[in-house]
Amino acid sequence: MKQFESFLLDTANQSLWLGASSIDIAPKPYAILRYLVEHPGRLITHDELLDALWPNTFVQPQILRTYILDLRKALGDDPATPRFIQTIPKRGYRFLAPVSEPQKPEPQSTPHPTPPAPHLLPTLPPATIVGRQRELAQLHAFASQAIQGHRQLVFITGEVGIGKTTLVDAFMQLAQAFPTQPAVLRGQCIAGFAAAQPWYPVLELLRQLCASPHGELACRVLRSLAPSWLTTGSAPDAPSPERIPGDLCAALEEISVAQPLVLVLEDLHWADPATIHFLSALAHRRNPARLIILVTFRPQHGAHNSAEPSLKSTRHDLLMRRLAQDIPLQPLDKSAMQQLLALELHQAELPPGLTSFVHRRSEGNPLFAIAILEHLIAQHFLIQSPAQGTSLAPTLWTQSAPLPEMDAEVPAGLAEMIDLELERLTPDEQAILEAGSLTQVAFPAWSVAAALALPQELAEDACDALSRRLYFLERAGQDELPDGSCSPFYVFAHGLFREVLYQRQAPARRAQRHIRIAEKLTSLFHGRESSVAHDVAMHFQAAGNHARANEALQSALLISSTQTTMDTPEFPQKRTRKTSTKA
């Protein structure tokens, strides 16, 4: 925990606080702020920031300016008279405010209700979950309110693999230790079922309830208050248009008087509109109810879904009216990543550098981290050997090669999962992202237009639309081109998605797109081609056109010896070890 003026930087949970209020801040701006706060008072150069946050990757310095602007907005900092971040022209930044480490309790993401002290919580086995203790405490507090008759609706949000279901599973273990054990029911929303079978997750909840030890009570109440939901007299049947959501709300409230209920609706982004409207109705009702509803979903899941606008507007309305709580899950920090790897390998002491390597490659995503770890084991970069040099001693995992030489390819299983995510997009949308992967972590819209031979305005509109829908793509700013026009640029939040997008392109098509980008660069910078010669050469080299690459490199030799040389972008070509090329 770091404090400067009235701000608290929670380094354990990667969040920023102003008093008791949480400030929304994206992962990359947060990482820049943390680095500045951890090195106050001294100049942090552009190169130092880029090396610290994007190691072994070429990134345009322009992206730093964009993220610094985001930080200034979050902090209310005036660049003309800065209190926090001072810009040193053409050199870097300096953090001005004094930084301390307060010895007071950490704030909670919402002041109502206040989570109980940790020693009052039921104890979970240490191996259940890592890095989510605060979120568990919040869920415990919300459940305590629900048991007292104050219904609760909690949205648990985050990208694929971030641990939403894992958090729910851990809470279910926690709920078993409550003095008044609730009935826990789960409904799963499934892709494609929204149109085929309305109410699917709600009916799944009711079937579980009727089959539970409390089934007799549930059926009796449903028969009395919501008979259209119990058409067979003993369990919910197929959906019927005459079902009335208000009747079901009243029945669940009545059941909760005798038996507290925990309703879990998973992957609500796949739900049908009727299910979302029912959820809204249940949250808006004022009658006392010993009821907590946990909803997991991805705010930007990419696929076209008729219920998506309804879900967004419903969530926004409920949060604004304080009828729901929000628990957004952030990537794991390095400390939590170390715990996760230690649990997976069943040993406390890890091979040197393994945590940093996996954390950097996975960007804090637990599912990605485990896939990368399994890949390292399958490729024998991590091997088991007897401890203390005896065959009878317990075995320990050790690394068989230096970490920088390890295979940097995307693990096969993870690549397949990412491919499935991408296949939910239209072919044109996939082509836009593939074209973006040809450049670097940050890619400009003009390069997409060049690669696909599209009008630039069409490419910009397509990139903007995708950045609003996809969790792994975001708009990061805009560049001024030599002709005076501007082109927005975008960032892949996960480098693994970019690598999969690059590799999935047919080599001939990929080469053609590289050449188009190189030729567009040459055209844009006509008369001063030497300033982009490195980039042009790398595109030609990636396309296999070594003759034109050499021509561009010869042009690079004309650059003034006083001009700072910079690393050339490294394209994620298939290889057995990661290397970097200096111009």
Rounded to an integer, the average pLDDT of 469-483 is 82
* Predicted TM-score of the model (pTM): 0.71
Q: How confident is the model at residue 157 (pLDDT cuts 50, 70, 90)?
A: very high
Q: What is the pLDDT of residue 280?
A: 93
Environment class of residue 328 by beta-carbon count within 10 Å: exposed (0-12), middle (13-18) or buried (19+)? middle
Q: How confident is the model at residue 582 (pLDDT cuts 50, 70, 90)?
A: very low
Q: Which residues of 523-533 are buried (b: 16+ CB within 10 A; e: fewer)?
A: ebbeeebbebb
Rounded to an integer, the average pLDDT of 299-308 is 59
Q: Is the pLDDT of residue 438 over 80?
A: yes
Report CA dihedral (150, 151, 153, 154) to the nearest 10 degrees: 50
When the pLDDT of each residue in the chain is averaged and rounded to a whole number, the result is 81
Q: What is the pLDDT of residue 379?
A: 85
Sign, CA dihedral 465-164-361-303, equals negative
Q: Is the pLDDT of residue 240 over 80?
A: no
pLDDT digits (tens, 9 = 90+) for 544-566: 999 988 888 887 665 544 344 44
The CA distance from 134 to 155, in Å, is 15
Q: How confident is the model at residue 58 (pLDDT cuts 50, 70, 90)?
A: low
Q: How confident is the model at residue 309 (pLDDT cuts 50, 70, 90)?
A: low
pLDDT digits (tens, 9 = 90+) for 327-336: 999 899 888 9
- What is the bridge-based pairing of β-strands 325-328 and 291-297? unpaired
Q: Which fold has domain 413-556?
A: Arc Repressor Mutant, subunit A (1.10.10)
Q: Is the pLDDT of residue 528 over 50?
A: yes
Distances (CA, A) of 582 to 362, 492, 551, 567: 26, 24, 17, 5
pLDDT digits (tens, 9 = 90+) for 341-398: 999 998 889 998 899 889 888 889 999 999 999 989 988 888 887 765 555 556 788 8
Rounded to an integer, the average pLDDT of 448-469 is 93
Q: How confident is the model at residue 570 (pLDDT cuts 50, 70, 90)?
A: very low
pLDDT digits (tens, 9 = 90+) for 505-520: 999 999 999 999 999 9
Question: What does the domain layout of the chain look like in residue ranges?
Answer: 2-95, 133-328, 334-407, 413-556
Task: Indicate the DSSP class of residue 125.
Answer: P
One CATH from 1.10.3720.10, 1.10.10.10, 3.40.920.10, 3.40.50.300 for 2-95: 1.10.10.10
Q: What is the pLDDT of residue 326?
A: 92
Same fold, 2-95 and 334-407: yes
| Short-list 72, 34, 77, 73, CA closest to 53 | 34
First to last CA, the chain: 41
Q: What token pair was written down for 565?
A: 């040389």
Cβ neighbours of 180 (radius 10 Å):
9
Q: How confident is the model at residue 87 (pLDDT cuts 50, 70, 90)?
A: confident
The CA distance from 352 to 401, in Å, is 11
Q: What is the pLDDT of residue 122?
A: 47
Which of 306-320, 330-344, 524-538, 563-577 tops mean pLDDT?
Answer: 330-344
| Higher-confidence position of 121 and 61 | 61
Rounded to an integer, the average pLDDT of 287-297 is 94
pLDDT digits (tens, 9 = 90+) for 112-156: 444 443 333 444 444 468 999 889 989 999 998 999 999 999 999
Q: Find the largest Cα–Cα distance for the chain.
A: 87
pLDDT digits (tens, 9 = 90+) for 1-37: 888 888 888 877 777 888 767 787 777 888 889 999 9
Flag the least confident range among 11-25, 157-171, 216-230.
11-25
| Higher-confidence position of 304 and 224 | 224
One CATH from 3.40.50.300, 3.40.640.10, 3.40.50.1100, 3.30.1360.30 for 133-328: 3.40.50.300
Cβ neighbours of 177 (radius 10 Å):
12
| Short-list 467, 112, 74, 562, CA closest to 325 | 112
pLDDT digits (tens, 9 = 90+) for 64-78: 777 888 888 888 888
- What is the bridge-based pairing of β-strands 261-266 and 291-297? parallel
Flag the least confident range among 134-138, 289-293, 493-497.
493-497
Rounded to an integer, the average pLDDT of 211-221 is 91
Q: What is the pLDDT of residue 4?
A: 87
Q: Which CATH architecture has domain 334-407?
A: Orthogonal Bundle (1.10)
